Every structure is written in C-alpha cells, then in structure tokens.
Chain A
Amino acid sequence: MQLPAFPVPDAVPASPDAWWRRWGRHLLRIRLLPRHRALRWTLLLLPSILAAAYYGLIAADQYESEARFVVRSAVRPEMSGTLSFLVQLGLARSQDDSFIVQDFITSRDAVDRLKGRLPLLRIYDHEGADFLARYPSLLYGPGEEQLYRYLKNMISVVHSERTGISTLRVRAFGAPDARAVAETLLQLSEELVNRLNTRLQTDAIANSSEEVKTAQERLIEAQTRLTEFRNRELMVDPARNAVALAELIARLSAELGVVEAQVAEMKGGTAASPQLIGLQRKATALEKQIGEERRRVNDDRDGLATRIAAYERLQLEREFAKRMLASSEAELVRARSDAARQMLYLERVVEPQLADYPLYPKRLSNILTTLCLNLMVILIAWLVLSGTREHGSNRK
C-alpha cells in the first residue's frame, strides 16, 4: 500500500502550523477501513455483494410485454413528381402526433385513467414480488405521486426517429398482468386519439355550418320580401307587365298611325266625308290612350318603372343570398373533408405480447455493472487519497 518511507530526520525545526493544517494531517492519518484484509475487502465490495445477493437470491422475475404502434394522419405532404402520387395513396405518418401519444402514456393523466380500468395495486403488489420492486415498497411509498414515479420505471415508450414506430414496454410480475397493462394503455391512447379527432372535427365544422345557417336565413328573408312585394303590388312580375304595356302602346300607336293616315287621305280627297269626324275622334281617343299608358310607365311616384327598379333590387338580393348559400355550403363540405384528412389514426403494428420468459431483472448484467462501478469507485478513491497523502507528506 505504502512506499517505503523515506528516512526523515527527527529534528525538524518546529514551525507554528496553522490549526487547519494540523487537523488536516490528523484526518489523513485516520484509518477509515479495518486492518483485517478480508474484512476490509468485504466492506469495500459491499455494494457488489449486496447487488449479487439481491439479484441472485431475492429479486423476483419480471415479465415484459411489448407493443408497437404508429400514429398516422391522412394529411398529404407537399411533394411533387411520381413520389407524391405514391405517398398520397398511403397515409403519411406524423411525427408530432406520435409524440402526443408518447407524452400521454407517460403522464399522470394516463396513470389516473389506468387506475380506473385496472387494479394496479393488485398487479404491482403481486404476492411473488420482492420487497424492493413491488409497488408500495421501501423506495416508493403510498400516494399518487409515488405511484406515478414507480410506474415510470415499469412503463416506457420509445419513439424511433427513423422508422416512426413507437415501442411500448410494460413490466410486471406476471406475464398476463404486463399484457393487460400494455393493452389498456393502448386502448387509452386510442381513446385519446379519438377524442382529439372529435374535437378537430367539431371545431372545423362549427364555423362553416354557422355560415351556412346565416346564408340560409338571408335567402329566406329575401324571398319573403319578394313575396310581400308581389302581394302588395298584385303582380307576379312587373317586367312582364311592362312588356305587355309596351306592346299595348305600340299597338295603339300603330292604330293611331293608320287612323291618322286615313284622316289625311280623306282631308286631301273630295268633299267632307261623313266618316272624317268619326276618324278624327278616334285618333284623339287613341292619342289620349297612348298618353295615359305612357304615364303609367313613366310616372315617378306610382309608375311601372319605379316598381320595376324596386322589384329588381329585391330579386338581386335574393340572387346574392342564393350564391352565398351555395358557397358556404361548398365551404362546409371542404371543411368536412379537411377534418377527415387531418384525422389521426393509431395503428397497432405489434399487439401486446404475452411473455413466456422473465427477461427482467437482468441479473448477471446488473451484478457485473455494480461490480464494475464499485471497482472504479474504489480505485478512484484510492488514487485520490494516495495523491492527497503524497501532498501531505510533502508538507513535513
């Protein structure tokens, strides 16, 4: 352990040492370990011995159930060329959504829900379980938070960046228990995904269906006003009335023309015809009638033109309302299909397995790891102490 001491002369000139230096020397001389060799090594290797005893004799078998899943959404990624065609056929996997599920499984919420579905206390307080690995144990006492921390050790979800597949591993003291927990966790995740989908759909559609409703109301109102107009004016279509009126005026004008021509012919002819007066009267009556009809069309207050204007405005309004309804209905359809494409799917690649061999705890590996760490710590401590002792001896 120690190199042969270099002979130091006894008569060292006494120098007043600082108190901490003196105490430091005392501390360095203290033997922390017993002198007996076997006892010393036992003490030094105590962690390894304990680990060997625990893993070799006490630790209970643990079964692992493994399941793999992918979280996908039907969103089409922006791509060009033939590749996009291939991708569009399939479903794109969405990384963020995988993390949603991963985070959920390792959350307190999942533990709470799990507790509602399965008798967790019975599963992890298994009769065969050893005192350290079972749930209410020395390390993890009762209480929600402790249970959560305990389950974090027994449940792991690992998401592989490259393949996009998430692996769920659950350990328990019985193979069926492990599978039941894994299965329930997967079911809970599926429910989560479904909840998210429902929410997505209602949110996206609520907006556009609101718009459709407004457009429908506007159309109904426009139609009502048009009907009211018709009832009030006692006419179906003022435009058609106007056409009839124009035709009437034209006919009257033509007749007037004929009559006037006859009058002119008679005046230019022989003696006064007895028919002339009648014809003249007829012409006057026709003129009056034409004037009357014209007024009916042109009158500012009550004329047909004013009414046509009002009618056309109402009709235009109804047209707009119709178009708005059509577009908002198209919007609704689009929103529905958008929501459908954004829907998430949790697909199980590997169903939870029933283990027939207890993979955990890894006894040999754990014992060797402990031994390795133990030895390294002993060596480090020895080196540090020796180095310090060397320094100490230098101060003499």
Chain B
Amino acid sequence: MDPIESSLGRALHIQARTIKGLVLRDLVLRYGRDNIGFAWVVLEPMLLTMGVMVIWSLTGTGKKEGMTVIEVVFTGYLPLTLWRHMTGGGVFLFRRSYSLLYHRSVTLFDLVVSRQILEFIGTSTALLVIWGGLNLFGLVQIPREIDLFLLGWWMMGSIALATSACFAVATELSESAERFVQPFQYLNIPISGAFFLVDWLPTWAQSAIAYHPLVHCYEVFRSGYFGATIVAHYDLIYFCACTVVVAFAAVIATRRVRDRLLLA
C-alpha cells in the first residue's frame, strides 16, 4: 500500500476516533447521567414547538391558504431550534473544554465539530420524532420533496456550524462578546424567515430579505415540505458563498485564538 495513503487513512481513523470520543463526552457533559439524558434533546424542542403551535392555533397567527398553522410552525420552528442549539453551543466552547487540548490528537476544530455533531444529531432526532408524532395524528404530511427538505436542514446545519465557530472564537477573545450573542439571536429571529414565507412579503421586502442567508435555508426546507404548492425564493449559490465566507472567517479566527490559548 502507498505509504502516504496509508498514513492518510490512519490520520482519518484517528480523527474519527477522536471525534467519536468527544461526542460521547459532550453527550454526558451536556445531558448528564442522572437525568433522562439524551431524551432532553428531543423533548426540549418538542415542548417548545408544541407550545408555539398551541399559542398560534389559538391566536390564529400565520394562517394561509393551503397550509395549516401547525405546518408553518413545524417548518419554521425546527430549523430555528437547530440554529439556536448549534450556535448556542458555540458560546464559551473553548473555555469549557480547554483542558482537553492536553491530548495531542485533540484540536480546537475537533472540539467545535464534536459538539456541533451532537447538537445536529440531537435536533435531527427531535425533527424525526416530532414529525413522526404529528404525522401519526395526521397534522403534517410526508414532505413532498424529501431531497429539498433534507437539503434545507443540512444547509441550516452547515451555516450554524460555521457561525458557532465564530461565536466560540469571539467569546474566547472577549468576554463581553457573550453579552451580544443573546440580543443578536433574538433580533435575528423575526427577520430570519422562521415565521413567514418570503412569498408573503411585498416585493421590495422580498428583495431585501434575500440578503439574509438564513432565509434561504427556511425557504429550501419549506419548499421541500410543501412542494410546488408554494412559491419559494432561494438562491443556493448566494447561500453557499455566505457559508464559505463565514466558515473561512471562523477558520482564520480559530487559528488566531489557538495561539492565544496555547500561550496562556
């Protein structure tokens, strides 16, 4: 066997083992042993989603022809949950796991990736369980185009991963950055497209909101769920460009912060 290839395979193997171990560590760290543990990953967004659905059903918000309130909440709130969980996990991520850098094979990227894999799988489980439950009662349908549905979900995961790395770096560099994360998250919710379809907006607002990268995730996700019955406005190339820019910024910043951490 080619020595380079074998070493690459070995490196990959070590990388996979590291990440696996870290994910398990995060699992225990995050959800504890003496609780119902992993079930929280599913229950938490489920409770929130149910609550929002009940409130929205009562107030009659978001009612449009051809789609029910529950469907709009389902397709809006779950990607939002994914975004919240993944980016929220980035805050002070390095500080909490700093001691693990003692191990030679653990890098800062491993810390971010393992934590976000856990969040991603957890929220995906929530998506499956909630969808299954609602589907059982006939409240949601099978997504019309499953490929787009999944693509939207993965898009949200990818941009959230990049953003969470940025958050991790920012909070590491300055503690006051953490104070800005929450306002940022809250202000982001109403304009991110979680609770509206771009098509509902007037034309000038549509062209303005298209600059928000998260909107594209929701639109792809919804167009996968509702199929051709809705008009979706998304631009995959613009979204990819945004994600690459954020990821690139995260990589550069992580390198900067690594020097700081290692010196400290």
Contacts and interface: CB of A to CB of B under 8 A. Distances in A.
Contacts of A388: 38
Contacts of B227: 158
Contact of B23 (A167, A365, A383): A383
Interface in B4-54: 20-21, 23-25, 27-28, 31, 33-34, 37-38
B33 A390 contact: yes
A153 to B, nearest CB: 12
3 closest Cβ pairs, A-B complex: A387-B38, A158-B228, A369-B147
10 contacts: A3-B24, A158-B229, A160-B229, A369-B147, A369-B150, A379-B121, A379-B124, A383-B23, A383-B122, A391-B37
Contacts of A162: 199, 231
A92 interface: no
B121 A380 contact: yes
A372 B121 CA distance: 12
Nearest to A395: B33
B146 interface: yes
A1 interface: yes
A362 B146 CA distance: 12
B38 A3 contact: no
Interface residues of A, number: 26
A362, A379, A383: which has the most chain B beta carbons within 10 Å?
Answer: A383
A157 to B, nearest CB: 10
Interface in B158-214: 199
B34, B38, B124, B199: which has the most chain A beta carbons within 10 Å?
Answer: B38
Contact of A159 (B37, B122, B125, B229): B229
B65 A376 contact: no
Nearest to A372: B150
B66 interface: yes
Contact of A160 (B122, B146, B231): B231
A369 B124 contact: no
B24 A380 contact: no
Interface of A: 1, 3, 158-162, 167, 362, 365-366, 368-369, 372-373, 376, 379-380, 383-384, 386-388, 390-391, 394
Contact of B150 (A160, A373, A387): A373
A376 B21 CA distance: 18
Contact of A161 (B20, B23, B66, B125): B66
B147 A366 contact: yes
B92 interface: no
B147 A384 contact: no
A369 B146 CA distance: 7
B94 to A, nearest CB: 22
B56 interface: no
Contacts of A394: 33-34
A376 B33 CA distance: 24
Given A383-B118, A383-B122, A1 B229 contact: no
Contacts of B249: none
A383 B27 contact: yes
B154 interface: yes
Nearest to B117: A379
Contact of B124 (A3, A366, A368, A376): A376
A388 B24 CA distance: 11
B263 to A, nearest CB: 30
A160 B228 CA distance: 8
Nearest to A369: B147
Contacts of B146: 369, 373
Contacts of A383: 23, 27, 38, 118, 121-122, 125
A180 to B, nearest CB: 23
B103 to A, nearest CB: 12
A103 to B, nearest CB: 14
A384 B231 contact: no
A390 B228 contact: no
Nearest to A159: B229
A380 B125 contact: yes
A376 B27 contact: no
Contacts of B27: 383, 386-387, 390
A167 B146 CA distance: 20
Contacts of B25: 3
B176 to A, nearest CB: 35
Nearest to B229: A158
A14 B115 CA distance: 38
B101 to A, nearest CB: 18
A160 B231 CA distance: 8
B229 A3 contact: no
Contacts of A362: 147
B61 to A, nearest CB: 19
A368 B146 CA distance: 11
B21 A3 contact: yes
A372 B227 CA distance: 19
B244 interface: no
B128 interface: yes
B19 to A, nearest CB: 11
A1 B18 CA distance: 10
Contacts of B38: 383-384, 387-388
Contacts of A387: 27, 31, 37-38
B223 to A, nearest CB: 12
Given A366-B147, A372-B150, A376-B124, 9 more contacts: A158-B227, A365-B147, A369-B150, A372-B154, A373-B146, A376-B128, A379-B124, A387-B27, A390-B37
Nearest to A364: B147
B177 to A, nearest CB: 30
A388 B122 CA distance: 14
Nearest to B28: A390
